[in-house]
A and B are shown apart, each in its own frame.
Chain A
Amino acid sequence: MTDEPLTPDTDLDSDSQPIESEGTTQTLATDERPTPDTDHDSDSQPTESEGTTQILMTDAATDGAPMGLAEGDLNGGWEFIWAAYIITWCLLASYAIFVTVRQPKA
């Protein structure tokens, strides 16, 4: 996980240009890029997610976004999905086994 704020190079020649960072691909805009001195700490940056590809959009959807956070799309993140589902199945199955094994003998 990278804790650095988003500071893309200045020579971006298109509206969106991918930036590789430890398994995360971010596509940033030239005109609405977050700057290091945004007033929220780096841990709360929505673009740090490991293993996900995120695109920060720069169109009208980002205008007026609070605290410099851009509204964006999340792509990928299946490892999070599988983790949530597997934890759910394991907890339900474990408790189901518990209540079955502990049943009083007839």
Chain B
Amino acid sequence: MKFHWEHIVGLLGLAVLVYGQYFGLFVVPPDSHMGDVARILFVHVPAAWNAFFVLTIGGVFALLYLLTGAKRFDHLLEGCLEVGTLLTFMLILQGSIFAKPTWGVWWTWDPRLVSSAVMLAIYVGVLVLRRTLNTDPTVRATLTSVAAVLASVTLPVNYFSVQIWRSMHQIQTAPTDIDSPLKMAWRINAIAFLLIAFWLVARRSRIAKARFEAMEAPPLPPAPTVEAS
């Protein structure tokens, strides 16, 4: 396998993740109210932060593709869409597991939960759209970029849902409200998720590039020359 520069970032992310998970599971003391269950937040919150970040960057790549038409932005967009959707799915699962011991239910129709589920459904729809468009890769890239820009509307709606509507989900927490060990566990795991997400996006965009090139029509052969007799 050819060595690419993103592998360094991926290996670094894996190392930070191993340490961050150990730190969050066994080093940080239990929360004063939620006890050990609060350790779920050391994977739930980093997954949420990075899902928002990756999907936001994906929206930027979509805009850049529409503005410039550069293929590399389409390849990166495909990576961001898939990794961001994976992280969104992950954070919903983690949140559901966290909700059971703390709220008493696996799921409730809370504004934050509903907006997260809608966000996941919309981004899955964008991926399905891209996958099923069996057309010229340039047209597919344009349509995907438009869909991704429209899907980006769900990001601020989801982020501010805990402030706009009455939600059981807590609002955004300021760093000054958190004790140092918990803050450290969050930050270490968030950096690990970020580095791994970077690696995944880079790897996925290489697949997207190869597929784009395979879908492009081969160049026409040169026209035969007619020699005068």
Give me the interface of A with B, judged by CB distance under 8 Å.
43-49, 52, 71-78, 80-81, 83-85, 87-88, 91-92, 95-96, 99-100, 102-104, 106
Q: Are A81 and B203 in contact (CB under 8 A)?
A: no
Question: Contacts A44-B108, A76-B36, A91-B86 known; A49 to B100 CB distance under 8 Å?
Answer: yes
Binds A, one of B54-62, B90-98, B113-121, B122-130: B90-98
Which of B34, B103, B200 lies in contact with A99, CB distance below 8 A?
B200
Give me the interface of B with A, judged by CB distance under 8 Å.
1-2, 21, 25, 32-37, 39-40, 43-44, 47, 83, 86, 89-90, 93-94, 97-98, 100-105, 108, 196, 199-200, 203-204, 206-207, 209-210
Could you tell me the distance in whole angstroms from the C-beta of A12 to the nearest C-beta in chain B?
A: 23
Question: Contacts A76-B36, A80-B37, A104-B210 known; A88 to B203 CB distance under 8 Å?
Answer: no
CA distance A76 to B86 in the complex (A): 29
Q: Are A74 and B102 in contact (CB under 8 A)?
A: yes
Q: Are A103 and B203 in contact (CB under 8 A)?
A: yes
Could you tell me the distance in whole angstroms from the C-beta of B9 to the nearest C-beta in chain A?
A: 13
Q: Are A49 and B1 in contact (CB under 8 A)?
A: no
Q: Are B101 and A49 in contact (CB under 8 A)?
A: yes
Q: List the count of A-B residue pairs having beta carbons below 8 Å apart.
A: 98
Q: Which 10 A-B pairs have the closest CB atoms?
A: A104-B210, A99-B203, A77-B37, A49-B101, A74-B35, A84-B40, A84-B97, A77-B101, A46-B104, A88-B43
CA distance A83 to B101 in the complex (A): 12
CA distance A52 to B103 in the complex (A): 13
Question: Contacts A74-B33, A76-B35, A91-B89 known; A85 to B104 CB distance under 8 Å?
Answer: no
> Could you pull out 23 A-B pairs where Cβ atoms are within 8 angstroms?
A44-B104, A44-B105, A45-B104, A46-B103, A46-B104, A52-B37, A71-B33, A73-B33, A74-B33, A74-B101, A78-B36, A80-B37, A80-B98, A80-B100, A81-B36, A84-B43, A84-B98, A85-B40, A87-B90, A91-B93, A95-B83, A103-B1, A104-B207
